[in-house]
Amino acid sequence: MNAAPASAPPDDPQFAGAITRETTADAAAVDALVIAAFGPGRFAKTAERLRERAPLTTGFCLYEGGRLIGSVRLWSIMAGEARSVFLGPIAVDKASRSTGLGGELVRVCIEEAKRLRLDGILLVGDPPYFSRFGFKPAPDAVLPGPVDQRRVMWLPFTETAPVGAVRPDA
Ligand SMILES: CC(C)(COP(=O)(O)OP(=O)(O)OC[C@H]1O[C@@H](n2cnc3c(N)ncnc32)[C@H](O)[C@@H]1OP(=O)(O)O)[C@@H](O)C(=O)NCCC(=O)NCCS
């Protein structure tokens, strides 16, 4: 049901299975996991408005015993002049948290964005979690709606910074 492994296993894996690239067969399970993790309120968010219009670049999944326990998606966007992906939602099943899976999903996204030679990764998320991967505040990225600007974060790969309107890269 799933595609080939998308990453090498971590040095000290605490979870079984491999992270795979999302296929259409995964979509319903991903939606269910995200709704369980975030609740229905997520659909009101500005991030969701952007995801509704941006092309899906790719997604990554992790199954354990046939059950989806982790997922993340990347969306093709421009952030000012910066070619980028918008990361999210990222969700790990409650029972599987704090085993390093969320970190592995972020790392696979970073590998993918570098492979695509993008300028960086943008997200709206909790700075205490994402700063550990090198994400920094992006005060000049203008999301298409209200957002807590302190939660808008950027992981740079090039000198091109996210300054200006964040919009789908159609
Ligand atoms: C955020 C999430 C994906 C992390 O998944 P995970 O598999 O538990 O992540 P990891 O195992 O790599 O990291 C766990 C560590 O991150 C910390 N952490 C998790 N969420 C955090 C947050 N929002 N802010 C700060 N720290 C956080 C945990 O306390 C834990 O710390 P510890 O290692 O000191 O115990 C998961 O908690 C989740 O699905 N949350 C609900 C959905 C959500 O809020 N997603 C977006 C976050 S902005």
Q: Give, using CA atoms, the residue closest to atom 18 of ligand 1.
A: 129
Cα–Cα distance for residue pair 116/118, rounded to 1 Å: 6
In a domain, 54, yes or no: yes
Q: Give, using CA atoms, the residue closest to atom 27 of ligand 1.
A: 129
* The pLDDT of residue 41: 73
Q: Is residue 33 a contact partner of residue 68, using CB atoms and an 8 Å limit? A: yes
In a domain, 94, yes or no: yes
Cβ-proximal residues to 33 (8 Å cutoff; 6+ apart), any chain: 68, 69, 70, 71, 91, 93
Across 55-67, average pLDDT:
96
Q: Residues with beta carbon inside 6 Å of ligand 1?
A: 37-38, 90-92, 97-103, 125-126, 128-129
In a domain, 41, yes or no: yes
In a domain, 12, yes or no: no
How do strand 82-92 and strand 67-79 relate by DSSP bridges? antiparallel
Provide the residue range defining the domain that includes 31.
Answer: 19-168
pLDDT at 43 over 60: yes
24: domain CATH number? Answer: 3.40.630.30
Q: Give, using CA atoms, the residue closest to atom 35 of ligand 1.
A: 98
pLDDT at 147 over 90: yes
* The pLDDT of residue 129: 97
In a domain, 51, yes or no: yes
In a domain, 70, yes or no: yes
* The pLDDT of residue 15: 57
Across 37-63, average pLDDT:
90
In a domain, 146, yes or no: yes
Q: Name the pLDDT band for 1 (thresholds 50, 70, 90).
A: very low
Can you tell me which atom of ligand 1 is nearest the CA of 104?
12
Residue-wise pLDDT for 89-138, tens only, equals: 999 999 999 999 999 999 999 999 999 999 999 999 999 999 999 999 99
Centre of ligand 1 to C-alpha 170, Å, is: 31
Cα–Cα distance for residue pair 92/27, rounded to 1 Å: 15
Cα–Cα distance for residue pair 107/114, rounded to 1 Å: 11
Mutation to probe ligand 1, out of 7, 60, 86, 92 (largest number of atoms < 8 A from CB): 92
Cα–Cα distance for residue pair 158/119, rounded to 1 Å: 5
In a domain, 1, yes or no: no
Domain count, the chain: 1
Residue-wise pLDDT for 18-34, tens only, equals: 899 999 999 999 999 99
Cβ-proximal residues to 157 (8 Å cutoff; 6+ apart), any chain: 113, 114, 118, 119, 120
Q: Name the pLDDT band for 170 (thresholds 50, 70, 90).
A: confident
